[in-house]
Amino acid sequence: MVNFDELTYELEIFIIEMKNIFDKANAKELINRIERLNSESKSEWGEMNVDQMLAHCNVTYEMVFSDRHKRPNSFVRFMLKLLVKPAVVGKKSYPKNGKTAPQFLIKERKDFKKEKKILIAYINKTVKLGEAHFEGKESHSFGVLKANEWNNMFYKHLDHHLNQFGV
């Protein structure tokens, strides 16, 4: 006999509540969590310092709003779309200590206040542009995405790393 309470609990471990980052209240909640970080915040897992984590989170937005990162060639984009996209834009949570793409690796220390300010500005810009702006927008690595896929990618990544630092 199936115990649905246990099954539901197991599913909750893997599927996270995906809030809408385009909603001002949800974005404000993320920003409030970011504001609770300080330069001495410690991670509960992983190797990044808090300033590196903020810079790491900024990479997602840099790929959308700047030309700072080289676009992968068509073969690499095809492989990313096939193998990585479902994990990035889906609702399944990221595992702790998961693999990170090379352009997301932040090896040097960063200016905490600067990275925090940049990340908050990117979140505000995303909200200001709105969901309609992202519907059918091409991703740096995954091709054309729906607005809900952009949302999942933005929200899930931030939520994962904010949880990593206990906020």
Predicted confidence (pLDDT) at residue 3 exceeds the cutoff of 60 = no
* pLDDT of the residue at 67: 86
* pLDDT of the residue at 101: 87
The residues facing 138 across adjacent strands are 144
Q: Return the H-helix or E-strand segment holding 4.
A: helix 4-14
Closest CA to 145 of 133, 156, 159: 133
In a domain, 27, yes or no: no
Q: Global pTM? A: 0.87
Question: From residue 94, how far is each of 13, 35, 37 by CA, in Å?
Answer: 10, 23, 21
In a domain, 10, yes or no: no
DSSP 8-class letter at 139: E
In a domain, 20, yes or no: no
In a domain, 137, yes or no: yes
Q: How many domains does the chain have?
A: 1
Question: Is residue 42 packed enough to be buried (19+ CB in 10 Å), middle (13-18) or exposed (0-12)?
Answer: exposed
* Structure-token match 């096939």, residue found: 82
Cβ within 8 Å of residue 48, ≥6 positions away: 56, 106, 164
In a domain, 113, yes or no: yes
Q: What percent of the chain has pLDDT over 90?
A: 77
Which of 57-71, 83-97, 114-128 has the largest mean confidence?
Answer: 114-128
Would you give the end-to-end CA distance of the chain in angstroms? 39
In a domain, 72, yes or no: yes
Do 110 and 50 touch, CB atoms closer than 8 A? Answer: no
| Segments forming the whole domain that contains residue 121 | 48-91+100-167
* pLDDT of the residue at 11: 43
Predicted confidence (pLDDT) at residue 132 exceeds the cutoff of 70 = yes
In a domain, 105, yes or no: yes
In a domain, 108, yes or no: yes
